[in-house]
Each structure stands twice: as structure tokens, then as C-alpha cells.
Amino acid sequence: MSPIYHISEDDLISLLKKKDRRAFNYLYDNYAGALYGVVIRIVSHKAYAEEVIQNIFVKIWNHMNLFDHTKGRLYTWMIQIARNTAIDYIKSKSVQNEQKNQSLPDIVNTTEAHQFVQMDQVEKVDFIGLKNVLGTLKPEWRQLIEMAYYEGYTQQEIAEHLVIPLGTVKTRVRAALLQLREILKENG
């Protein structure tokens, strides 16, 4: 079987639903970097992020039949899986316990490595224009979206962290997502 080098999203989805391994390899090669960029912002540790990425692609492979193109694009669906998987991972007891038991030098080195990897991944994610699209939002909306989708905060946690009412957070996040949807429609 020869590898796939270019394929439409509809054809990719069709092949993935048929469990075509070439399509899966194409998906991994073309989307792992962008998903890693989302995951590393939430998980903050390269080894954890790599484990989470593996879990994400297993979930995509095993649940591809649940993807509904009428509800959104494949990339959006995968980002949601990545975000949820990363948040679940960092909230797991074993990860929390391991982080509590880390020595100070390990934490310092992890932070430095995270900053290096994160900058590299931001450049990779930017090829899809996400960084530019977020830049068009009002600063307070962009902050909420970044906290929720890249840093793994819940809306309640955002409200507590920013000391604003939960209702305000929900309203602003909804408005920001609606504006992002319009921007993506215009560009897309």
C-alpha cells in the first residue's frame, strides 16, 4: 500500500471510518503537531504530552464512527478530543500525585523545556492561522478562550482566577466562540 500525500477532508473521513491505516498515518502526520500544541499548553510536560497524544489518536481511531460532519469540521472535533483528554489526564490522581512528588530541579527543568517546546509548537499551530484568528478577538475574550482551551481551566476556575462572576465568563466565552465561528466562516 502506498502512502497518501494529499486527500480531501471528506475522503479522509470516509477512509478513517473504514479503518484505513494509510488514512490514519496521513491524519497523524498532518495533525499531530497542531494537537500537540494544544496538549502541551494544558499538560505542561513533554513526556505527559506525548502520552496524551497517543491516547488522543487511539480515541480518534476507535471513535471515528461517532464523528458527524454536520456538527463541525474534523479538525474541530479532534481539538475537542485533545483538550478533553489532556484535561482528564492532568486531573487524574496519579499525575497529580507525581507532580506533588517532583523535586524542585525537575520542576525548573520541566518549565524550561516546556517553554522551548511550546514556542516551537506555536509556530507549527500557526500554519493553520489559529494564532492570528485569536488575535482578532477582544483581549478579555482571547484571555478566556486561551485559559479554557489551551490551559485547561473550567469556566468556574476562570471565574475564580479572574475574580469575575461565572455568568460573565459564560457570556463572554459564548460571544467569543460566536465571533470565532464568524471569522472562520469568512476565512474558510
pLDDT digits (tens, 9 = 90+) for 149-167: 777 677 888 888 899 998 8
Instruction: Assess whether pLDDT exceeds 50 at residue 44.
Output: yes
Give the other-Cβ count within 10 Å of 97's Cβ. 9
To the question of pTM greater than 0.75 for the whole model, the response is no
176 CB contacts (<8 Å, ≥6 apart)?
Answer: 137, 138, 141, 142, 144, 145
Instruction: Assess whether pLDDT exceeds 60 at residue 81.
Output: yes
**CA-wise closest residue to 129 among 183, 84, 174:** 183
Number of helical H runs and strand E runs in the chain: 10, 0
Residue ranges and CATH numbers for the domains of the chain are 1-124 (1.10.1740.10), 129-188 (1.10.10.10)
Rounded to whole angstroms, the maximal C-alpha distance in the chain is 56
Tell me the pLDDT tens digit for each residue of 122-132.
334 444 556 67
Q: What is the mean pLDDT of residues 40-47?
A: 84
Q: How many residues does the chain have?
A: 188
